[in-house]
Chains A and B, each alone.
Chain A
């Protein structure tokens, strides 16, 4: 009996993510669970991102998101457990228990969650949530309306399969749905990106001439569940709070005259003025996406990064986990004596159109590996550089439905692209910039 009373309380078992609020040891006097959070001090975004000393930790992507939110001065967060989630939102619950997040609840499902995020952002507070795969599509009606309502917030998308049959595996096809919402969309390669993009996302989202939601995507499992090194600032500092008056559209707090879009019934009507008002509003949303470029350049070091580009025989363009695999492919190619450059796209909206035109001006071959069937990144790249580059573009290799991407697949495409040998993985129809023999395409499609 006395033994069990003295049992040590394990608050953070080695190797397990913390999934509950750390219980105070029994003997101690009652400690304020919010004590540490209250001690946090506000620093400027510039100090937080560029000057604050960082230490390295080996954590999962979900934990990286949690640590980003801890330092981001988030007011409100709403969680939903499945369809299918990562651990991220329950870890945010831990932050709520510890006082780092002021308001938090478990919502009914994603439509309700994303609607409530819209309400909270209108109230003028800083909001965070996360979802994945079918959950993204379940919530996409409200998500697609956030930009039009000019609601700053950060939503993390830990991409999963959305197609039938129902599955929970990694596959980033949902990004293609998000690209046309009018929101800013980043794609994180690893845990470090996850940590940085979320924090920087809040600052960019709330800039007056932006005032838009930011989606931070990553490939589910590969980033959320796997561990990687993340360089983080100390826990004792946080970003400045959201200043509600700063937005391009007034918040609905009855302290400011309300935004006209909430009041104008004429926008709903069927006449020329109504169409015109709506058209102008859409133009303004996308103009705001454009205006975010300067902040992405400032805080994230550019919409894309380029490595190993000088005198490269071929260039791989990739985003998310495909960028990590591509980096290894670049190394394998170097071993074979092929010099391959790598462009990692960090921001999908806005898209680095000018940057790619410059970088690919003299490129002969572009390979675009992706974790989805449809190849949304290849379409984006081809549209961006059309008329500015004579490169042959290989829209592949593609893996989907949970498949991982062997690095050799990418190397094969680089080699066959350079030699003209027929690819075993990418249909001829997915190779842009060459003559396509329709007979060969149909033969390929019948035999895959």
Chain B
């Protein structure tokens, strides 16, 4: 049903703009596209007003390619750099109030379940570190405690980038930024530990250097959120402007940060592992066959 809206009404195709035609003819809707096919199809997100060299934009593009059902995915965000790109994508985006994203997503995903039952309607929150760990902290944590079934992705650039470089809760201790003229006085908030103790079924950290890993992580998180519970991905998406990273060094920085504080980690509850194995054939989570016991 939902695929109908990305198709032309009969007789109207010749009046549609080229961008729209490309999306219908070469877009990812109703197909299984992967990050390794990038460049060979029309992406949901192409044009955007982000800064040159922005790692966040690369991550958002990768994430959108990775959505298992882009035609049935609704993104929710809040103020910050990320929404400038997310709002340009060819899928619905909710831009409500400051820090309300996990509250809105709670109502949205429950409402969609009431109307569509088992038919997957994936709700994905994508918001920055400030929007999630500072102003939206209460809504975020409570949505996890309530076991709301949707995916939360933090675009962590460790700074308020959109407002010009102020300290956020996710900034590293000691960093000198606006509103932290003497250096940040407390540690980076451990949202990963909080996600686990609040009951997320899947928690992962990624950097955008490894597209296939980003893809794998996003797919798992969205699928698990359909039935098992909340999922959380924390992605390092550097701000090359506020941290003065030369554009050609952005990936190098990501690699360094990956080696320092953003090692790939993945936490999957047993229930989620079983679900992925049984429902979606994830071999890595199939129960290991019992070693053959040979009796002497």
Chain A residues with CB under 8 Å of chain B are 75-76, 78, 102-103, 105, 107-109, 111-125, 127, 141-142, 145, 149, 244, 252-258, 262-265, 268
Contact = CB atoms under 8 A, between A and B. Distances in A.
A262 B92 contact: yes
B74 A252 contact: yes
B72 A75 contact: no
Contacts of A145: 96-97
B138 interface: yes
Interface string B161-189: 00000000000000000000000000000
B220 interface: no
Contact of B111 (A123, A254, A268): A123
Interface in B1-38: 1-2, 5
Given A76-B110, A78-B107, 7 more contacts: A111-B100, A111-B103, A112-B103, A112-B138, A123-B108, A145-B96, A254-B71
Given A75-B114, A108-B142, A118 B73 contact: no
Contact of A265 (B88, B142, B146): B88
Nearest to A262: B93
B112 interface: yes
Contacts of B74: 252-254
Contacts of A105: 110, 146
B87 A115 contact: no
Contacts of B108: 119-120, 122-123, 252
A244 B108 CA distance: 13
B107 A117 contact: yes
A118 B100 CA distance: 10
Interface in B83-104: 83-84, 87-88, 91-98, 100, 103-104
Contact of B94 (A113, A141, A262): A262
Contacts of A116: 103-104, 106-107, 110
Contacts of A115: 96-97, 100, 103-104, 106-107, 139
B105 interface: yes
Interface size class of B (residues with CB under 8 A): 35 or more
Nearest to B138: A108
Contact of A263 (B76, B93, B106): B93
A32 B171 CA distance: 53
A305 to B, nearest CB: 36
Contacts of B115: 123-125, 244, 253
A108 B76 contact: no
A99 to B, nearest CB: 13
A183 B97 CA distance: 17
Contacts of A103: 110-111, 113-114
A199 to B, nearest CB: 20
B106 A119 contact: yes
B114 A118 contact: no
B280 interface: no
B107 A254 contact: no
A258 B138 CA distance: 28
A76 to B, nearest CB: 6
Nearest to A109: B138
B121 interface: yes
A105 B98 CA distance: 23
A105 to B, nearest CB: 7
Given A108-B142, A115-B103, A258-B92, A264 B111 contact: no
Contacts of A264: 87
Contacts of A125: 111, 114-115
8 shortest interchain CB distances as A-B pairs: A123-B111, A115-B103, A119-B107, A120-B107, A116-B107, A119-B108, A258-B92, A119-B104
A119 B94 contact: yes
Contacts of B71: 254
Nearest to A104: B110
Contacts of A113: 103
A149 B96 CA distance: 8
Given A109-B138, A265-B87, A118 B93 contact: no
A207 to B, nearest CB: 20
Contact of B139 (A76, A108, A268): A108
Nearest to B69: A254
16 contacts: A102-B114, A109-B138, A111-B139, A114-B103, A115-B106, A116-B106, A121-B107, A123-B109, A124-B111, A253-B2, A254-B72, A254-B74, A254-B91, A256-B5, A258-B92, A264-B87
Contacts of B91: 254, 258
B49 interface: yes
A254 B121 contact: yes
Contacts of A112: 100, 103, 106, 138-139, 142
Nearest to B93: A262
Contacts of B87: 262-265
Contacts of A107: 103, 142
Nearest to B98: A141
B185 to A, nearest CB: 27
Among the interface residues B5, B71, B74, B112, which one has the most CB atoms of the partner chain A within 10 A?
Answer: B112
B191 to A, nearest CB: 17
B146 A258 contact: no
B126 to A, nearest CB: 14
A257 B142 CA distance: 31
Given A112-B103, A116-B103, A255 B92 contact: no
B131 to A, nearest CB: 13
Given A119-B111, A120-B111, A263-B87, A142 B139 contact: no
